[in-house]
Amino acid sequence: MFYVLYSHFTLDDAFLEDDAVESTSTQEPPQISPANDPKVGDFVSVKYTLGKKQLIYNAIVIEPCQPLDDRELMVSFLKGQGTYFVFPEKKEVCFVGKEVVVAILQLPLIDNRRRHFF
């Protein structure tokens, strides 16, 4: 199980100076093999490394708005709210390389308030 540690997607100076954000996971998730590449609609965990910090975000793979090469995906990030995740009001969409995708997640349980539980 992975948690979103910082919900804001844009990497600005204030984000890079935040010492309170750290990874709580000590176990490495399994690497993605070419046989199980993420497809549109899959939930994935994306890992970013900033210095000594490793940040893991949960996202869903969406249909790209422009043609991509084989090594890229277009994802929409989820925002952590305690024990569950929600899509933020303002979408956080980004192109990511397949090399930063560390796990394909199981489909989450979604309640009537559109909260996602992994």
Tracing tokens 């708005």 back to the chain, one arrives at 65
- Closest CA relative to residue 7, chosen from 83, 86, 62, 68: 86
pTM, 2 dp: 0.67
Question: What is the tens place of the pLDDT at every residue in 100-116?
Answer: 999 999 988 988 888 88
DSSP calls for 9-69: -S--HHHHT-SS------SPPPPPPGGG---TT-EEEEEEEETTEEEEEEEEEE--SS---
SS3 100: helix
Question: What is the tens place of the pLDDT at every residue in 68-111?
Answer: 888 899 999 999 999 999 999 999 999 999 999 999 999 889 88
